[in-house]
Amino acid sequence: MLRYIGRRLLYMLLSLFLIITATFFLMRAAPGGPFSGEKKLPPEIEKNLNEFYGLDRPWYEQYFDYLTSIAQWDFGPSFKYKGQTVNDLINSGFPVSFFLGMEALLIAVGMGVLLGIIAALNHNKWQDYAAMIFAVLGISVPSFIMASLLQYVLAIKLGVFPVARWESFMHTILPAIALATGPTAFIARLTRSSMLEVLSNDYIRTAKAKGLSRMQITVRHAIRNALLPVVSYLGPLSAGVITGSFVIEKIFGIPGLGSHFVLSISNRDYTVIMGVTVFYSIILLAAILLVDIAYGLIDPRIKLAGGKKGE
């Protein structure tokens, strides 16, 4: 296990280096600059700003300085937020995105697994059809459309929840549901197909022949093996929902990391764009590593070090 984790950490560092390098040069290749805009600055002021932020130096010096800064967990200053660094924006926005993402993740996993199990246990019955209709709609309807529908029906028409802002737990429910709808539908389909495959195995028939109840067979034997595909999906899903949905945060006026990222694109705040991209990448790589480790713990047949099954 330790050897496997060490090897994966080396791969993560290599992947992170490639992501940082690609992000840096893509920002340099983008047209315009951080101080370009509708209102053009006088050449003297723009020259002083470029000199102050080191943008007038050769690209290799900027690249080396950027790598050194990231190694020290310093993403640099923001070009548009006066007196704030990228680290300040991450520290203020990520806890909000993390809370919203965890709430959406719990909804998605809980409801998705439940619907998938119900659909599989009632195969080709109305429960199965109802769950799959919900899954198709959840996958088909974009999250920003779902967010607008939830705001219109539950907030504006019925007045059950607040329309937007981030002030209390009630303000988190609608954005969490909107963020969780797509993953819930996907997990439901994934759980259903996996459960149907598991329920057709010989050891399930043996358990039925021994006289075990349907509940005992489902809880003791079926669910654990059926959840393996869901666990493998949790890596990118966790990184995606925990860091926050850009569109959802913008629609509900949530001061999370996603809203900072959207504003940084429109403001040409290159250091924020690069810093948030690298931060997201770190979370994604860490989530995938944790899921791989959990995958091996759930299914003892999987050997992490050797990568073989059934040994």
CATH classification at residue 125: 1.10.3720.10
Which pLDDT does position 307 carry in this prediction? Answer: 45
Closest to 173 (Cα-Cα) out of 162, 181, 183, 182: 162
Specify the DSSP class assigned to residue 147.
H
Q: Which of 134-138, 147-151, 231-235, 304-308 has the lowest mean pLDDT?
A: 304-308
- Say how many domains are in the chain: 1
| Residue 180: domain span | 96-266
Contacts of 56 (CB under 8 A, 6+ apart): 47, 50
Q: What is the pLDDT of residues 78-129, one digit of tens each?
A: 887 777 888 998 898 888 888 888 899 899 999 999 999 999 888 889 988 9
Tell me the one-letter amino acid at 129. Answer: Y
Residue 55: pLDDT over 80: no
On the 0-12 / 13-18 / 19+ scale of CB atoms within 10 A, 64 is exposed
Q: Is the four-CA dihedral 265, 267, 273, 276 of positive or negative sign?
A: negative
Q: Is residue 301 part of a domain?
A: no
Which pLDDT does position 156 carry in this prediction? Answer: 92
- DSSP codes, 157-190: IS-SS-SS-SSSTHHHHHHHHHHHHHHHHHHHHH
For the chain, what's the residue count? 311
Percent of the chain residues past pLDDT 90, beyond the cut: 14
Which two tokens mark 165? 């802002």
Closest to 256 (Cα-Cα) out of 129, 104, 118: 104
> What residues are paired with 107 via a beta bridge?
none
Q: Is residue 308 part of a domain?
A: no
Mean pLDDT of the 252-263 span? 82
Q: Which of 29-43, 265-279, 280-294 has the lowest mean pLDDT?
A: 29-43
Which pLDDT does position 302 carry in this prediction? Answer: 59
**Helices (runs of H) and strands (runs of E) counted in the chain:** 14, 0
Q: Is residue 102 part of a domain?
A: yes
Residue 311: pLDDT over 60: no
Q: Is residue 20 part of a domain?
A: no
Contacts of 175 (CB under 8 A, 6+ apart): 100, 104, 147, 248, 249, 251, 252, 254
Q: Is residue 283 part of a domain?
A: no
